[in-house]
Amino acid sequence: MTEQEIIRGCQEGKAQYQKELVVRFSPMLMTVSRRYSRDNESAKDNLQEAFIKIFRYIGRYKPTGSFNAWMRRIVINASLQSIDKACFKREISGLDELLDQPSTPADAYAHLGAEELMNLIDQLPNGFKQVFNLYVLEGYSHREISEVVGITESTSRSQLVRARNYLKKMLVKRDRIRV
């Protein structure tokens, strides 16, 4: 069953194609959902919500671009809607100690696989995590992030700087422990 057939079948409301879409794309979309959710359970909830939206609006999807990108965006929006926007502001203060720029040797992260990287990013405070994911993994600009999550551009920039420093610090710490 090709992607085009699945899309067409879903647009016609056929259950077998809808199930195939869930089976084929949920692992990829779950990764996206996990990145923007507090924990695994809320990631599942957000993914369910996103799938319902995908099936509701798939009739409007026109096959002139990436279906994956279209679905990812829905998952991101569904996940962002579920988080507490106040976390972006709360996490500005109290973490200034992270602003010193630790250097990050390449061998400190070269060995890290996807799951370890995800666990590492998961340890970021919630606001940092969302901004980091949107900027680094989704390619959003600070202006777009500010519009999507409802913060100012300068807040987005400072959250990103803090997220990077936080990650670097954690990497250095892990590297010391590993050694």
Partner 1 sequence: MSFEEHIRRNLNNHHSEVDTDALWNSIKDDIPTEKEDKRRRFLFFFTLISVSLGSIFILSQGDLDDPTYLSTKVEITTPSISSIEKYIDNVDTDAILSITKNTKKKRNLSQSKEFNKPLVKRSSTSKIKKANNSSSTIHKPTIVSSSNLNHSIPTDIQNQKFIEVLKDQIRTILPKQKEEELNIFAAELHQAEMIQASLLPEIAIEELEVPEVEDLEYEETEEIRAAFDDERDTKFTFGFSLGSGKVNNTFSPNFPSQREYVDKLNRLQKSSYYIDYSFDLMMAHKSGVYLKSGFLVQKNKTVFNPNSTLVEEVIQNQIPNLNVTGTVYALENGNQNEREETQEPVTTVMTSVYSRPQSLKSKSLTQTNYALPIILGYQFGKGNFKIGVETGVMVNLFSKIKGNINTPYKEQWGINLQQGLSLSYDITPEIALNLAGQYRFTPSSVTESKASYSLKQKSYGINLGLKFNISE
The residue ranges that bind partner 1 (CB under 8 A) are 11-13, 15, 18-19, 22-23, 26-28, 30-31, 34-35, 44, 47-48, 51-52, 55-56, 59-60, 62-70, 73, 104, 106, 109-110, 112-115, 117-118, 121, 136-137, 139-141, 143-144, 147, 164, 167-168, 171
DSSP assigned state of 140: -
Tokens of 57: 């609006």
The smaller minimum CB distance to partner 1, of residues 84 and 147, is found at 147
Q: How far apart (Å, rounded) are the C-alpha atoms in residues 73 and 22?
A: 16
- Nearest distance in Å: CB 140, partner 1: 8
- Nearest distance in Å: CB 159, partner 1: 15
The smaller minimum CB distance to partner 1, of residues 162 and 168, is found at 168
The smaller minimum CB distance to partner 1, of residues 94 and 113, is found at 113
Closest by CA position to 70, among listed 54, 89, 52: 54
Written as one letter, the residue type at 139 is: G
Q: How far apart (Å, rounded) are the C-alpha atoms in residues 36 and 16?
A: 29
Tokens of 130: 């969302």
Helix (H, G, I), strand (E, B) or coil at 176: helix
- Beta strand ranges found along 9-162 (DSSP E): none
- Nearest distance in Å: CB 93, partner 1: 25
The smaller minimum CB distance to partner 1, of residues 51 and 88, is found at 51
- Nearest distance in Å: CB 49, partner 1: 9
Q: Quick one: how far is CA 33 from the chain centroid? A: 6
